[in-house]
Amino acid sequence: MSALEPLALSASQVAQEVNAGSLKAHDVAAAYARRVENLHRELNTHIEWDKEAVLNEVDKQLAYIEAARYAQKSLPLAGVPIAIKDNIMVDSQTVSCGSQLLRNHRAAYDATVIQKLKAAGALLFGRTNMDEFAMGSSCENSSYGPTINPWNRRHVAGGSSGGSAAAVAARLTPLALGSDTGGSVRQPASFCGVVGLKPTYGRVSRYGLIAYGSSLDQIGTFATSVQDTALLYEVIAGHDPADSTSARIAAPQGSLASTSSLKGKRIAIIKEFMSEGLDEDVRTHFDQALDVYRAAGATVETVSLPHLLHCIPVYYIIATAEASSNLARFDGIRYGVRSQKPGLSLRELYTQSRSEGFGREVKQRIMLGTYVLSSGYYDAYYAKANRIREMIRREIQGVFEQGFDLIASPTSPTTAFELGQKTQDSLAMYLSDIYTLAANLAGIPALSQPIGLCRKGLPIGMQLMAPAFGEETLLRSAQVYEQQINGTEKFRPRI
């Protein structure tokens, strides 16, 4: 039995100890498997948890990690458990995307990020719950039931990567992957009190991620600290020839060179985001967080970005248009669930399989996307949305060109809302992503970090955005903040 308690260690520490031989990867796996076993039902973090199957798969990795150790090769994620959002392919495992339509679908290949994780010595630790086809802001649109916020059982975990966020917050895994199309990593990270990073579009390969809005999707990370975030980010980032939108830029390294000062850094806050709809509690903590940034040497100025007010309609037009197309392949013919109704014609079979397989929100978005792309409406909606997207991108670009290093905002206007509170009101639900959409539309990196708890005891998140490929700036600045507030221990729910 190892002297070290795996659950008390960060991902970086686990890797370090396993590489050094002072901790057995096997013990890490056993400890986390016990914890998942105890808690996953309560929180509904996993779409399916088969302890034996997971540990069987982990066994293969253990042999690889041992071999690497004998070869004195240090693996960046040696023995570190990681949970995977259920829309990322892991060869021969089920990937349901939170949908009934794919409940029996087994992936035929590994996503590029999964290949990289395996090579880095990580232990794949189950697939996490999500809003169906990544469409949602609360994780209540999962056909496997909602994920519960580990801070308060009556509240949502956030969406769409709610399962991954809650699993990391509840320490069922030190790391998790999610995907972020309009804030699906940052918003649940904020709601659950963990660090969530959406890298620059093209920084992390999308090969093997079930597409929702292709021009917006990016695989992102969950961790409890900035250091662990950087560790995971560096493993999964880099050019992938299998993804034509992947940037031809060398993989990042040493994102977190030691630094403790933000002297000379200029932070912009957006005037339009600081008005109505912003929860007072969130505003107060955000202001306090800015003070911490100031104390570390940064200056803060307000800028006006009026086009950002159009983010919601622009996002919902572009994302749903792309989704209506991306989801066409789910026709029940070659994989997924096919309607068993007898005597259907080909067209009826498509319609019936899709009617049975897709949930309400998915159908709503497919219909919306089909409408905005249809002839006669294309110019009025899709083409116009793309023009405004370009204006938003330029407006944000302009801020960085003025010499700002970061744009800061709350991650979400509120803390985690109650289960069921917004499920009947799409627009209210869509508004919870108002601050996160811009980064996806502009393709820039953004990070959410916990900055406090509201009066109800729920986490509040702050979002930092940087210019394209400015992940290093995000990570270093967020780490300085973490140091200033003496770490993230206080953002652990008692569970």
**Residue numbers at the binding site for other proteins (CB under 8 A):** 87-89, 95, 97, 102, 105, 107-109, 111, 206-211, 213-215, 241-245, 321-322, 324-325, 327-331, 333-335, 346-347, 350, 370, 373-375, 378, 382
H/E element, 353: helix 346-357
Is the Cβ of residue 207 or residue 430 nearer to other proteins in the bound state? 207
Structure-block tokens of residue 58: 């982990």
Helix, strand, coil share (%) of the chain residues, nearest 5 = 45, 15, 45
* Catalytic entry in 24, 85, 116, 118: 85
Q: Closest approach of Cβ 244 to other proteins, in Å?
A: 5
Alpha carbon distance 111, 91 (integer Å): 8
Asked whether the beta carbons of 369 and 322 are under 8 A apart, the reply is yes
Nearest CB to other proteins, comparing residues 244 and 253: 244
Question: How many CA atoms does the CB half-sphere of 6 hold within 13 Å?
Answer: 27
Spatial separation of the C-alpha atoms in residues 165 and 161, rounded to whole Å: 6
Q: Which two tokens stand for residue 273?
A: 């985001």
Q: Catalytic: which of 184, 225, 324, 448?
A: 184
Instruction: Provide the minimum distance between the beta carbon of 389 and other proteins in the complex, in angstroms, as a whole number.
Output: 12
**Could you tell me the smallest distance in angstroms from the CB atom of residue 348 to other proteins?**
12
Q: Which helix (H) or strand (E) holds 48?
A: strand 46-48
Nearer to other proteins, 27 or 356 (CB): 356
86, two tokens: 């259920």
Rounded CA-CA distance 257/286 in Å is 26
CB of 52 to other proteins, least distance (A): 26
96 is catalytic: no
- Reported as type and span, the H/E element at residue 16 is helix 11-20
| Shortest distance, position 91 Cβ to other proteins, whole Å | 11
3-state secondary structure of 256: coil
Q: CB–CB of 412/435 below 8 Å?
A: yes
Nearer residue to other proteins within complex by CB, 82 or 399: 82
**205 is known as an active-site residue:** no
Minimum Å distance from CB 216 to other proteins? 8
Q: Which is nearer to other proteins, 363 or 492 (CB)?
A: 363
Is 409 a residue of the active site?
Answer: no
Q: Annotated catalytic residue: which of 96, 137, 143, 160?
A: 160
Q: How far is CA 278 from the centre of its chain?
A: 22
Compute the C-alpha angle 225/465/98, nearest 5°: 65
| Cβ–Cβ < 8 Å for 196, 190 | yes
Query: If you count them, how many residues does the chain have?
Result: 495
Long-range CB pairs of 358-361, under 8 A, 24+ apart, other chains included: 358/99, 358/100, 358/101, 358/132, 358/133, 358/327, 358/330, 359/99, 359/100, 359/132, 359/141, 359/143, 360/141, 361/131, 361/132, 361/135, 361/136, 361/141, 361/426
Q: Which is nearer to other proteins, 167 or 317 (CB)?
A: 317
C-beta of 201 vs 273, nearer to other proteins: 201
| Minimum distance from residue 345 beta carbon to other proteins (Å) | 12
Q: Which residues are catalytic?
A: 85, 160, 184
